[in-house]
Amino acid sequence: MRPMNARYAAGLVMCTACAVAVSSATSVRQSQGAAGPTALESVRRAAQQYQARRFSDAESSVVEAVRTMRQERAAQSSNAAETSPRGTGIYLVGGVVPEPTRTRDAVPQISEDAARAGASGIVVLEFVVSKVGRVEQIEVLKSVPGLDDAARAAARDWRYAPTVVNGQAADVLVVSAINLTWRTDPMPAAYLDMGRVYLERRHYAHAEELLSRALTAIRAEAAAFGGAPGDQPRRVTAPAGSTTSGAIAEPKRVKYVDPVYPVLAQKLKISGYVIIDAVIDPTGRVKGVRVLKSTAPPLDQAAVDAVRQWEYAPAQLAGVPIEVLMSVTVIFSLR
């Protein structure tokens, strides 16, 4: 099948404006073993808390992870270069060995079969950046069926500035978490997963960038859905027009925007539905959305974009406009 550019984000684009707001470390841990696991444990805990919709707790865990990671990075900054188990002359990132800087990117070209199957996920690669900045000896550490070949092919086309160790260009072992999902929205779970991968390999700059993005996205979701499961808005309990006492009727939609059927999905004859949880504020505007279920991931972003533009007559309880949580289904059908 002919490959295609599926709007996937290949690798990580660094953003200096996305700084995590945490206090400066007042002390530096001297034990490398204590610092690393603590930061990793905080990231893993944040991922579990996010999945449990405990957004406020997840936010705190991410902040703690970044604070501890900065301490670890400072403690290791002057450590001697370590060689990789792959062979002598190949160095591990960390200490005096900096993370290589990518100078040329390439976007994975996804096969039509993978797109039709809705293949989606994070492919993790490990490879050697050579003395001249080329990618060699690629291995897949985390596989996503249908996407591994595209990730490998893109990585082969990447180029890096030569990494200097002890005054000479050196081969460096690098890990890359490639986000091959169809969503362009912030995805806290994906950011946390990729941040963990980079943290495990002491790629601190990449890890902090991703944890920063996770923190921003978690805060946005908490603002819409509440910081904990018990804080979320009241869920609609009755159909539109219901007059049952104490029930919260589904608000009437007053503005509808058709979802834009993705050109790629039409070309590949992809159809299906996306179920979305939407928070409707007291004025009837959509305050937040999240995908609950999808039969075709290539359609998710179009569904989310459309629902965000819908408007409703305010939901009411005892005559007072209130914020509500309701599920909506967006159907994509080829005629």
Burial class (CB in 10 A: 0-12, 13-18, 19+), 50: buried
Tokens of 269: 């004859």
Q: How far is CA 81 from the centre of its chain?
A: 31
Alpha helices in the chain (DSSP H): 32-51, 55-76, 112-116, 148-157, 188-200, 204-225, 263-267, 300-307
Q: Give the integer Cα–Cα distance in Å for 56 and 37.
A: 22
Are the beta carbons of 174 and 93 closer than 8 angstroms?
yes
Report pTM: 0.81
Q: Give the integer Cα–Cα distance in Å for 177 and 305.
A: 26
C-alpha distances in Å from residue 332, one per residue of 30, 50, 295, 309, 310: 56, 29, 10, 17, 17
Q: Give the integer Cα–Cα distance in Å for 286 and 308.
A: 6
Are the beta carbons of 123 and 180 closer than 8 angstroms?
yes
Of 234, 203, 255, 258, nearest in space to 316 by CA: 234
Q: At what angle do helices 188-200 and 32-51 cross, to 10 degrees?
A: 160
Low-confidence ranges of the chain (pLDDT < 70): 1-37, 186
- In the three-class reduction of DSSP (H, G, I as helix; E, B as strand; rest coil), residue 297 is classed as helix
Per-residue pLDDT tens over the stretch 270-303 = 999 999 999 999 999 999 999 999 999 999 999 9
Q: Give the integer Cα–Cα distance in Å for 289 and 325.
A: 9
pLDDT value of position 318: 84
Domains along the chain? 3-225 (3.30.2420.10), 233-332 (3.30.2420.10)
Query: Which residues, other chains included, contact 50 with Cβ-Cβ below 8 Å and sequence gap of 6+?
Result: 58, 188, 189, 192, 218
- In sequence order, the β-bridge partners of residue 52 are none
